[in-house]
Amino acid sequence: MSSGEPARLRLPARPRGSWKGPVIALVVVAITVVMCLPGIGIGVDFGAIARNWQHGADKIVKLVQPDWSFFPKTIPPLVETLQMAVIATAIGALVSLPLSFWAARSTNPQAPFRMAVRGVLNVVRSVPDLLYAAILVAMVGVGALPGILALLLFNVGILVKLVSEAIDTNDVGPLEAGRAVGATQSKINRTLALPDAWPAFANQTLYVFELNVRASTVLGLVGAGGMGLLIDAVRTFYRYDQLSLIILEVLVVVIVIDLVSDAIRRRLV
């Protein structure tokens, strides 16, 4: 090519499989539209929103006008909600750590035992925490105890799944080297697998703690203590101004927990 001849610019070849992304997106959109159609799907009626929105207009006005005088009465339930979340997270983390190693393929080579652990945890995880709370309230009575037990079951199911999957993604080379020198599986898990799993375990524990704070405010609707009992009381008397104050408090608490958790995660990474 001579120095006076302009260089020809060629676009790089389109990578193979680039059509898959748009096709998958179109398929998801099509399935979503079909599921919203009447007869075939759930029959979403967007016109009902336009016709009935004014029924909630007065409630929205009350929600944007919090009753600040109600604040002192919200402190004990809010503290109880945080106590429930902390206790359930701490006990759930202690129970979930060994179960995570038993449920992971790389740290539990015994397939029947591993499948049994996973099967039990699948059953535990399939039951909603609100249903756990309703059953436990009938068994042990109204209060924080059934809420803590319901959150504990919820935590174990979620933590073991997330942490065991994280363990399976770690490098198995050190574990195989430990087996080659004759170390027992428990010693391998304690000395080799645990240091690699610790950041993921701590990260998921913080995530579950955030979920517990939110969930504990709902469990009280069935009598499981915490902020939910107060929410149910003010909702029964249509005190939306007091309800808005409770929502605002929960929002502030969740934001603070999220900021603290994010700071802790950055130190772990």
Q: Which tokens go with 47? A: 């016109």
* pLDDT for position 34: 82
Report yes or no: 245 and 71 within 8 Å, Cβ to Cβ.
yes
One-letter amino acid for residue 51 of the chain = R
Topology of domain 69-268, CATH: MetI-like fold (1.10.3720)
| CA angle (142 as vertex; 218, 67 as ends), nearest 5 | 50
In this prediction the pTM is: 0.76
Task: Name the one residue in this structure whose structure tokens are 């009935």.
Answer: 52
For the CA atoms of the chain, what is the radius of gyration? Answer: 26
Task: Give the integer Cα–Cα distance in Å for 171 and 179.
Answer: 14
Report yes or no: 175 and 106 within 8 Å, Cβ to Cβ.
yes
Task: Give the integer Cα–Cα distance in Å for 129 and 141.
Answer: 16
Q: Which tokens go with 137? A: 């309230």
- Which residues 6+ apart lie within 8 Å of 257 measured at CB? 209, 210, 213
Is residue 35 helix, strand or coil?
helix
Task: Give the integer Cα–Cα distance in Å for 151 and 128.
Answer: 10
Task: Give the integer Cα–Cα distance in Å for 96 and 159.
Answer: 6
Output the tens digit of pLDDT for each of the chain's 269 residues.
555 555 566 666 666 666 677 888 899 998 888 887 776 767 677 677 777 777 777 777 777 888 888 888 889 988 988 898 899 999 999 999 888 888 888 888 888 888 998 899 889 888 888 888 888 888 888 888 888 898 899 899 889 988 888 888 877 777 777 777 777 777 877 777 778 888 888 888 888 888 888 888 888 778 777 788 888 888 888 888 888 888 888 889 888 888 888 888 777 66
Q: Which tokens go with 45? A: 């009626």
* pLDDT for position 5: 54
Task: Give the integer Cα–Cα distance in Å for 159 and 207.
Answer: 9
- Which residues 6+ apart lie within 8 Å of 40 measured at CB? 34
